[in-house]
């Protein structure tokens, strides 16, 4: 089903290239583990099982991790009303609506397709935004669902997650049990660690490149759908400013899900983390919205139009 969100051929092309390259990397990674561990059944079964679990249950995992819960219309009528209106305008199925009891202002969308999607906002976001700003944020998240990049980023992140887990397991295994290995086992252990670290690094860079563009694409699609890029720009400025005032130590749990958020949880002093952020800079996003506003003639529109 084609929604009324403006299609983005560059986003589609980037998603295709990213999935292709990650697919090659995935095959190479599995092959390397099979050769090193000498058990193709174990590696393939575990890898396929984890990939399937992430694809089918990513929405539940994300909600659980971010303390989100599904809410009905009776509990949050205004929130449901905005989602209903945007889905009607965009001609797309309504996703499940959820709320996370977090003070950090943010939102995210997850799910394998438009028929199995979840859009979640934090109570901190609901408290801080005006209705038109909230509409802009929700349109941004719905565009991720409509463009199918939520499913792509979920699948794409799988390889990095697995490689990262292997590296972490290897680190703690070496830390607590390194003295009990023979030389041959230690060599295989080191090679598995090296392959996993390389795969993690490559997948990390590929996902960052896709993620930054998809955020700009979502901003653009949301601004054009609502016709009010200034409201989205206002929400971006407000949310980014409030998150920057939260101590970094209080954001560490949330940072694992930065690729899915409306605005990354970087804290007051992002430092080098900004270079590897899943999102373009606030300045880039506001500059794009400013151009769209000028194209739409929004600034010249009469008050209340």
The structure's pTM equals: 0.80
Q: Name the binding residues.
A: 140, 144, 215
Catalytic site residue from 141, 295, 298, 303: 141
pLDDT of residue 175: 47
pLDDT of residue 268: 61
pLDDT of residue 176: 47
One pLDDT digit (tens) per residue for the chain, 305 residues: 566 787 788 998 988 888 888 878 777 877 777 776 677 777 777 777 766 766 677 677 778 777 889 999 999 999 999 999 999 999 999 999 999 998 899 999 988 788 888 999 999 999 999 999 999 999 999 999 999 888 888 777 666 666 666 666 655 555 445 555 556 666 766 776 777 777 778 877 888 888 899 999 999 999 999 999 999 999 999 999 998 888 777 677 677 677 788 998 876 655 555 666 889 999 999 999 999 999 988 644 444 43
Q: Name the binding residues for Zn(2+).
A: 140, 144, 215
Known catalytic membership, residue 101? no
pLDDT of residue 300: 45
Helices 229-244 and 131-146, axial angle in degrees (round to 10): 100
pLDDT of residue 239: 94
């Amino acid at each position: 089903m084609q929604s009324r969100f403006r299609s983005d051929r560059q986003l589609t092309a980037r998603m295709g290239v990213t999935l292709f390259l990650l697919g090659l990397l995935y095959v190479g990674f599995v092959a390397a583990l099979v050769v090193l561990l000498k058990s193709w059944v174990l590696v393939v079964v575990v890898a396929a099982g984890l990939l399937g679990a992430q694809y089918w249950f990513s929405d539940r995992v994300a909600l659980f991790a971010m303390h989100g819960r599904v809410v009905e219309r009776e509990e949050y009528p205004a929130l449901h009303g905005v989602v209903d209106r945007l889905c009607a305008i965009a001609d797309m199925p309504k996703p499940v609506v959820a709320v996370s009891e977090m003070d950090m202002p943010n939102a995210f969308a997850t799910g394998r397709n438009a028929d199995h999607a979840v859009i979640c906002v934090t109570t901190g976001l609901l408290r801080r935004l005006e209705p038109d700003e909230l509409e802009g944020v929700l349109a941004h998240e719905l565009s991720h669902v409509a463009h199918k990049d939520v499913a792509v980023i979920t699948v794409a992140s799988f390889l990095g997650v697995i490689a990262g887990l292997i590296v972490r397991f290897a680190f703690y295994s070496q830390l607590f049990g390194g003295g009990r290995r023979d030389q041959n086992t230690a060599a295989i252990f080191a090679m598995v660690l090296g392959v996993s670290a390389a795969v993690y690094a490559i997948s990390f860079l590929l996902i960052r490149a896709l993620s930054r563009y998809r955020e700009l694409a979502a901003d653009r699609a949301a601004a054009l759908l609502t016709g009010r890029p200034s409201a989205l720009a206002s929400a971006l400025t407000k949310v980014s400013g409030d998150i920057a005032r939260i101590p970094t130590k209080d954001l560490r749990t949330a940072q694992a899900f930065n690729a899915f958020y409306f605005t990354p949880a970087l804290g007051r002093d992002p430092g080098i983390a900004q270079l590897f952020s899943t999102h373009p800079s606030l300045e880039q996003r506001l500059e794009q919205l400013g151009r769209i506003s000028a194209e739409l003639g929004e600034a010249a529109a009469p008050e209340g139009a």
